C-alpha cells in the first residue's frame, strides 16, 4: 500500500492559522516584493490564484529581452508535486506517457498524462532529482489523481507549490549571467540537464529548461531563499540586459517555440464539460511521447485502440498564415468553404518575421489533407471587423529553431 493513501488532513492549529486567507484572494509569490518594485503598469492576472504580471513595463521590451538579452519570469505559481519513494519510477511510468526508466537522475523531460480513455489530463515537466525522487511541474492540479494512482505503489506524493519558488531565466545571455552569478559548472549543463548549486545556506536546483525555445534555465529554491536568489541574478545580469518580464511576452515566445498550453490550446480532461472537447496525445501533437513498448500506462489501451481503429479525430498543427494580422481564434477552412478547425493561439513572430498560429483541425485535414487551407480573420479595427480570408500553410513546429538553445557549452554573449 502506498503511504499516500493516508489522509492528508492538516493539524488543527495549522487549520485555524490559515483561516484568514479569504482576505487575500490573489496570493503573492515569494518574489512579489521585487516584482512589485518593478511593476509600472499594474497589469496583473490570476495564475492559479496568484497575482502574476501580464507585463511590468513594456511588452515589446520584455519580449526582446527573451530573444536578445535575458528575461526573468516568476514561475512560482506553477503547480509542483514531489514524488518520492522506492516505486517512484514505476509509479510515474504507469501515470505518464514517456518511459521514465530512460530518464536518468539529473535529467528532465517534457511529458503528459492521460485518463483511462487516453484523454490528456495535463502536460508538464518531470525532473528526476534523484533515483527515487522526482518533481512534476504542471498547469492544473492533480493531487487526487496522483494519490489514487499511487494505490499499490510505495511512493509518496506531496504538493509543494507554495513551498518551492521558481524562476525562469531565458535568453541568449542567460548562461553568462549564471556564470557571472557564481554558479560554477553551469557550462556543463546540457539541455534538459539539472544540477544542484549552493545558494546561501541552501540549495538551488537549476535545470537547462524553459518555455521559450531559447537558451535558458529554470531555478527552484525553497521559498525563503527566493528574494536573495532574485537579487543575485539581477545583480549579475545588469550588464547583460536582464529584465523581469510578464506573461504576454512569454506567450509570444512560447508560440514561436511551438509549445502548447493546457486549457488554452487543448482542454484538459478533468475540466472539459463537453464530451467532444477532450483530446488524445496524438490529437495535440504529443503522440511522440507515447511509448507503447514500456509496459502499461494510463490510457495505453485506449490510445492503442484509437490508433489501430483510426478513430483519432483531431490534429494539432502549426500554421503559417499569409500577411501579418494575427489570427487569434480564427476558424480554419478548407477550400475557403468547409470549416475544418480553429486557431487556438496566434501571433506575429518578431523572431521569424512570419505570421504564425497553432490550430486544431478535424482529421483528415491537417493529417492527409494539407493543402488549400484558409483562415478567416475577424480583425476589429475601430469598431468594425475587417474580414480577411488568408491562405494558411502547415509548417513544422517550432516555427524557429535556435541553435543556441542546445549548444553546449553555451556561447558567451
Partner 1 sequence: MTSSDAIVIGGGHNGLVCAAVLAKSGRKVLLLEAASELGGAARTEEFAPGFRVSSVAHLLNRLHPEVVKLLDLAKHGLVLQPEQSVPSLSLSTRDGPLTLAGAYGDDLVGAQASEQAAWRSLRAQLFRYAGVLKPFLSRRPPDLRGGNSLAETFSLGQAGWALKKLGKEDMRDFLRVILMNVADLLDEQLTDDRLKGLLAFDAVLGSHLGPRSPTSLLGLYYRLAGDVGGVPGAQFAPKGGMGAVVSAIAGSAAAAGVTVRTEAVVRTIRIENGRATGVILADGEELSAATVVSAADPAATFLELVGPRELDTGFVRKMRNIRNRGDAAKLHLALDRPPEFAGVDSAGHRGRLVIAPSVDHVERAFNPCKYGEFSPAPVMEVTLPSLSDPSLAPDGACVLSAVIQYAPYRLREGWQSGKAKFLAAIMAKLEEHAPGIGKRVRHADLLTPADLEQRYRMPGGHWHHGELQADQMLVSRPVFGAEGYDTPIGGLFLCGAGSHPGGGVSGTPGLNAARRILAMER
Partner 2 sequence: MGTHRLKTWDAIVIGGGHNGLVNACYLQRAGLDVLVVEKNDWVGGAAVSRELTPGFLYSNCSYVCSLFRPEIMRDLELPRFGLQVIAYEGGAVFTRDGDYLANYRDHDAHRREFARFSKRDAEAYDRYARDVTRQCRFIQPLLMRTAPDPTSLKPRDIGELMYLAKKFWGLGPDQMAATLRFWTMSISDFLDEYFETDVIKANFSISGIIGTALGPMSPGTAYVLLHHYMGEVDGSVGAWGYARGGMGAITKALSASFQASGGTIRTGAEVDHVVVRDGKATGIVLAGGEEISGKLVVSNADVKRTFLKLVAEKELPDVFLRRVRNFKIRGSSGKVNIALDSLPEFPALPKDSPCYRGDLHFTDSVERMERAYDDWKAGRWSADPFLDMMIPTTLDPTMTPPGKHFMSCFVQYCPPKVEGRDWTDTDRDAFAETVIAQIADYSPGFRDRIVHMEVRTPRELEAEVGLTEGNIFQGELTFDQLLFNRPVPGYAQYRSPIGGLYICGSSTHPGGGVMGAPGRNAAAEILRDLSTPNRHMSPAHDVI
Q: Which residues neighbour 230 within 8 Å (Cβ) at sequence distance 6 or greater?
A: 31, 34, 72, 167
Query: Smallest distance from the beta carbon of 19 to partner 2, in angstroms?
Result: 7
DSSP letters, 351-364, are TTTEEEEEEEEETT
CB of 12 to partner 2, least distance (A): 7
Q: Which residues of 146-178 are buried (b: 16+ CB within 10 A; e: fewer)?
A: bbebbeebbbbbeeebeebbbbbbbbbbbbbbb
Which lies closer to partner 1 via its Cβ, residue 97 or residue 189? Answer: 97
Q: Find which of partner 2, partner 1, none residue 390 binds, CB within 5 to 8 Å per kind.
A: none
- The listed partner (partner 2, partner 1, none) that binds 185, CB under 5 to 8 Å by sort, is none
What's phi and psi for 306, nearest 5 deg?
A: -65, -35
Identify which of residues 140 and 320 has a Cβ nearer to partner 2 in the complex.
140
Residue closer to partner 2 by CB (options 65, 138) is 138
In the complex, least distance from residue 141 CB atom to partner 2, rounded to whole angstroms = 4
22 binds partner 2 (CB under 8 A): yes
What would the x/- binding string for partner 2 be over residues 125 to 144, using CB under 8 A? ---------------xxxxx
Per CB under 8 A, 191 contacts partner 1: no
SS3 50: strand
Q: How far is the CB of 151 from partner 1 (least distance, A)?
A: 5
Q: Is position 49 an interface residue for partner 2 (rule: CB under 8 A)?
A: yes
Strands 164-170 and 216-222, sheet pairing: antiparallel
In the complex with partner 2, which residue's Cβ is closer, 7 or 384? 7
In the structure grid, which three cell numbers stand for residue 335, read together? 477550400
Nearer to partner 1 by Cβ, of 202 and 295: the residue is 295
> Which DSSP string corresponds to 193-232?
BEEEEEETTEEEEEES--SSSSSEEEEEEEGGGHHHHHHH
Could you identify the residue written with the cell 502548447?
Answer: 260
The span from the CA of 392 to the CA of 303, in Å, is: 29
Residues of this chain that interact with partner 1 (CB under 8 A) are 90, 94-95, 115-117, 145, 148-149, 151-153, 295-296, 298-301
Amino acid at each position: 500500500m502506498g503511504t499516500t493513501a493516508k489522509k492528508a488532513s492538516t493539524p488543527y492549529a495549522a487549520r485555524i492559522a490559515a483561516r484568514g486567507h479569504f482576505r487575500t484572494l490573489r496570493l503573492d509569490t515569494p518574489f512579489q516584493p521585487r516584482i512589485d518594485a518593478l511593476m509600472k503598469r499594474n497589469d496583473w492576472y490570476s495564475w492559479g490564484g496568484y497575482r502574476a504580471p501580464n507585463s511590468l513595463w513594456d511588452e515589446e521590451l520584455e519580449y526582446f529581452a527573451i530573444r536578445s538579452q535575458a528575461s526573468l519570469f516568476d514561475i512560482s505559481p506553477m503547480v509542483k508535486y514531489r514524488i518520492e519513494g522506492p516505486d517512484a519510477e514505476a509509479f510515474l511510468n504507469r501515470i505518464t506517457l514517456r518511459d521514465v526508466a530512460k530518464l536518468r537522475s539529473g535529467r528532465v523531460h517534457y511529458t503528459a498524462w492521460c485518463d483511462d480513455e487516453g484523454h490528456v489530463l495535463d502536460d508538464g515537466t518531470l525532473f528526476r532529482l534523484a533515483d527515487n525522487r522526482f518533481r512534476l511541474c504542471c498547469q492544473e492540479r492533480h493531487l487526487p489523481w496522483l494519490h489514487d494512482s499511487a494505490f499499490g505503489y510505495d511512493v509518496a506524493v506531496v504538493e509543494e507549490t507554495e513551498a518551492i519558488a521558481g524562476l525562469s531565466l531565458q535568453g541568449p545571455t542567460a548562461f553568462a549571467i549564471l556564470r557571472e552569478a557564481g554558479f560554477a559548472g553551469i557550462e556543463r549543463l546540457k539541455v534538459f540537464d539539472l544540477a544542484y548549486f549552493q545558494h546561501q545556506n541552501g540549495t538551488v536546483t537549476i535545470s537547462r529548461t524553459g518555455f521559450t525555445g531559447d537558451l535558458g534555465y529554470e531555478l527552484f529554491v525553497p521559498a525563503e531563499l527566493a528574494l536573495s536568489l532574485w537579487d543575485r541574478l539581477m545583480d549579475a545580469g545588469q550588464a547583460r540586459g536582464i529584465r523581469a518580464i510578464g506573461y504576454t511576452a512569454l506567450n509570444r515566445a512560447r508560440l514561436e517555440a511551438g509549445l502548447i498550453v493546457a486549457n488554452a490550446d487543448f482542454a484538459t480532461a478533468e475540466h472539459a464539460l463537453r464530451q467532444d472537447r477532450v483530446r488524445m496525445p496524438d490529437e495535440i501533437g504529443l503522440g511522440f511521447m507515447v511509448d507503447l513498448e514500456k509496459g502499461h500506462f494510463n490510457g495505453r489501451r485506449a490510445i492503442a485502440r484509437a490508433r489501430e481503429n483510426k478513430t483519432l479525430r483531431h490534429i494539432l498543427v502549426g500554421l503559417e498564415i499569409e500577411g501579418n494580422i494575427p489570427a487569434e481564434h480564427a476558424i480554419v477552412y478548407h477550400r475557403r468553404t468547409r470549416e475544418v478547425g480553429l486557431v487556438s493561439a496566434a501571433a506575429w513572430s518578431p523572431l521569424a518575421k512570419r505570421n504564425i498560429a497553432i490550430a486544431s483541425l478535424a482529421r483528415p485535414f491537417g493529417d492527409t489533407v494539407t493543402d488549400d487551407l484558409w483562415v478567416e480573420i475577424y480583425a476589429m479595427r475601430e469598431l468594425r471587423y475587417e474580414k480577411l480570408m488568408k491562405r494558411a500553410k502547415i509548417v513544422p513546429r517550432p516555427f524557429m529553431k535556435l541553435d543556441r538553445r542546445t549548444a553546449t557549452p553555451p556561447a558567451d554573449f
